[in-house]
Amino acid sequence: LPDGQTLLLPKVVTAQFGSDVNKHTVCVYGHVDVQPAKLDDGWATDPYNLTDINGHLYGRGASDNKAPVLAWIHAVGAYQALNMELPVNVKFVIEGMEETGSNGLDAMILAQRDTFFSDVDYIIISDCGWLSRRPALTYGTRGNCYFFAEVEGPKQDLHSGVYGGTVIEPMTDLIGILDTLISPSGKILIPGIREAVAPLSDEEWKMYQDIQFDVEDYKNKIGVSQLMYSNK
């Protein structure tokens, strides 16, 4: 920390079921930490006490991300209970710092890339949602590109009623910079950024046509009257 303190990070839990070299290896990622929650945030029940209401389970972290993690654990457990062989090798990576930036996870992966992660063929991200009631597996997510903009202004705070209109406003400069980054239709205008994105394959385009997604229902759910696009 900036003040010199050192904090111990939660452990990353790993597990492995099967090590057959003739099978693919699937690694399931999940996390058990949650965002803060209080009753006065709008919760109808105690957010830290799992509550069943008409067959629906309510609690902080129930969907993000405890239930998906448990679903995978129970899937492996079901095979074991039936004395059935898993069709693939399964590995778990479950962390406790996702909500604060996954501190330490990158270092752990790099440290074990030639051991625990060396035979991983596929990553399943359990920390995702479905677009409809139809079950779905997430095989990829959007990445992040970070950019920094720096502007300079007066060396002290100035009262707008006295100095407004005579000095160059740093906020105005920032607005101008941000206005060059994206078009009104949502296209990112930063040179070279599209070349850094893997193109969709013909198979993916075909698969996306069958995705169940209701645009109107989506707009109603998030409370907007218009989206960037009119179709899925």
By annotation, the residues acting in catalysis are: 33, 98
Q: How many residues does the chain have?
A: 232
Cβ–Cβ under 8 Å, residues 13 and 91? no
Residue 182 carries which DSSP code? B
Cβ–Cβ under 8 Å, residues 48 and 121? no
> Which two three-digit tokens encode residue 96?
């406790």
Output phi, psi for 226, to 5 deg. Answer: -150, 145
* Separation CA 30–CA 126 (nearest Å): 6
**Residue from 161, 102, 118 nearest 25 by CA:** 118
Cis bond upstream, residue 65 (ω within 30): yes
Say which amino acid occupies 197.
Answer: V
Report the run of H or E that residue 177 belongs to, with start and end: helix 170-179
